[in-house]
């Protein structure tokens, strides 16, 4: 049975592998379809020729970071027109916000007596989309924490002392943007969202297309619940490994896949 992994990150955001290595790995694992969903970046598509590969299907995609009631909500966009000037301008703005955000988090770390600066965060990172993972990796390299998880729990997570929001981008705006560039909007990793059904109702009202049901942190109970929500609200179903590498989580490309018929349902929605 053909399968797809629709949530993968590359070196153009906070992943550890090049696009070509991702594709080679997916081919080795006989995955029929992938989507590289970098954070606020489509450079995987504008700077690489991955869509021309004849041996594997690659869906142009992005993961947008939004804020609602001071909480992060991530929206995946699939089958997007990645060359659209409006999209590219908005992504540039979001990446600039990311840089400002990381610098504000560094100030908070410095106030706690932790000696770290922005250059150390970007030292091994050539991408334009700087994330909390890059900051966590810098803390790990300096021996300030013993793991990426510790960095998030102790300093960088939403409830931690050095967390900073401030994306100034609403889920409604992200959904509208994805629709305007001919794409489908999907709620990413719903397990991380409190008051899910309340927020889901709001997102559906904004035009949300689907929900990510299959995900590494989703238990069988989660999956059944999200499938029920998808059927209840007539939402598309997606899923993927959310592969980053970098030791962020113990997932590999293809460790979470969906049947290819779910990709076909996405395509039917586009028609």
- Provide the sign of the torsion angle of the four alpha carbons 115, 119, 123, 128, taken in this order: positive
**Can you list the alpha helix ranges (DSSP code H) found in the chain?**
19-28, 43-46, 85-111, 118-122, 132-141, 148-151, 171-180, 196-206, 220-233, 260-270
Q: Tell me what pLDDT residue 214 has.
A: 98
Check residue 181 and report its DSSP letter: T
Looking at residue 154, the DSSP 8-state letter turns out to be I
Q: What digits encode the pLDDT tens for the residues 153-168?
A: 999 988 899 999 877 7
pLDDT of 38-60, one tens digit each?
999 999 999 888 998 889 999 99
User: For 166-208, how does the pLDDT look when each residue is reduced to its tens digit (9 = 90+)?
Assistant: 777 999 999 999 999 999 999 999 999 989 999 999 999 999 9
Closest CA to 191 of 264, 132, 249, 265: 249
Domain with CATH 1.10.150 in the chain: 92-156
CATH of region 92-156, choose from 3.90.1200, 1.10.150, 1.10.10, 3.40.50: 1.10.150
Alpha helices by DSSP H, listed for 29-188, are 43-46, 85-111, 118-122, 132-141, 148-151, 171-180
For residue 121, give Cα distances in angstroms to 96, 109, 127, 145, 165: 15, 13, 11, 14, 18
pLDDT of 271 = 73
- φ, ψ of residue 235 in degrees (nearest 5): -100, 150
User: Where in the chain is CATH 3.20.20.140?
Assistant: 3-85+170-270
The stretches in the chain having pLDDT less than 50 are: none
Q: What pLDDT does 248 receive?
A: 58
3-state secondary structure of 225: helix
Burial of residue 84, with CB atoms counted within 10 A of its CB: 0-12 exposed, 13-18 middle, 19 or more buried: middle
pTM for the complete prediction?
Answer: 0.91
Contact status, residue 32 vs residue 2, Cβ threshold 8 Å? yes
pLDDT for the residue numbered 128: 72
Please answer whether residues 65 and 72 qualify as being in contact, where contact means their C-beta atoms are separated by less than 8 angstroms: yes
Distance CA(99)–CA(44), nearest Å, equals 20
The fourth-level CATH superfamily of domain 3-85+170-270 is Metal-dependent hydrolases (3.20.20.140)
Q: What does DSSP say about strands 3-8 and 258-259: parallel, antiparallel, or unpaired?
A: antiparallel
Among positive and negative, which fits the CA dihedral 230, 62, 148, 68?
negative
């Amino acid at each position: 049975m053909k399968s797809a992994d629709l949530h993968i990150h590359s070196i153009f955001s906070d992943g550890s592998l090049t696009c070509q290595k991702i594709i080679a790995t997916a081919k080795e694992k006989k995955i029929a379809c992938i989507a590289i969903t970098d954070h606020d970046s489509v450079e995987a598509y504008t700077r690489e020729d991955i869509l021309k590969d004849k041996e594997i299907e690659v869906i142009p995609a992005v993961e947008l970071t939004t804020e609602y009631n001071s909480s992060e909500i991530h929206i995946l966009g699939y089958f997007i027109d990645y060359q659209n000037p409006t999209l590219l301008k908005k992504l540039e703005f979001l990446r600039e916000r990311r840089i400002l955000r990381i610098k504000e988090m560094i100030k908070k770390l410095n106030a706690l007596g932790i000696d770290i600066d922005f250059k150390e965060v970007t030292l091994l990172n050539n991408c334009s989309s700087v994330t909390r993972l890059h900051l966590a990796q810098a803390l790990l390299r300096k021996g300030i924490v013993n793991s990426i998880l510790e960095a998030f729990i102790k300093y960088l997570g939403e409830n931690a002392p050095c967390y900073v929001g401030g994306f100034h981008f609403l889920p409604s705006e992200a959904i509208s943007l994805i629709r305007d560039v001919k794409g489908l909007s999907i709620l990413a990793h719903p397990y991380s969202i409190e008051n899910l059904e309340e927020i889901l109702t709001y997102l559906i009202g904004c035009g949300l297309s689907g929900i990510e049901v299959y995900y590494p942190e989703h238990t069988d109970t989660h999956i059944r619940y999200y499938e029920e929500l998808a059927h209840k609200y007539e939402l598309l179903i997606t899923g993927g490994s959310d592969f980053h590498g970098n030791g962020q989580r113990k997932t590999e490309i293809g460790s979470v896949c969906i049947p290819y018929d779910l990709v076909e349902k996405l395509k039917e929605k586009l028609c």
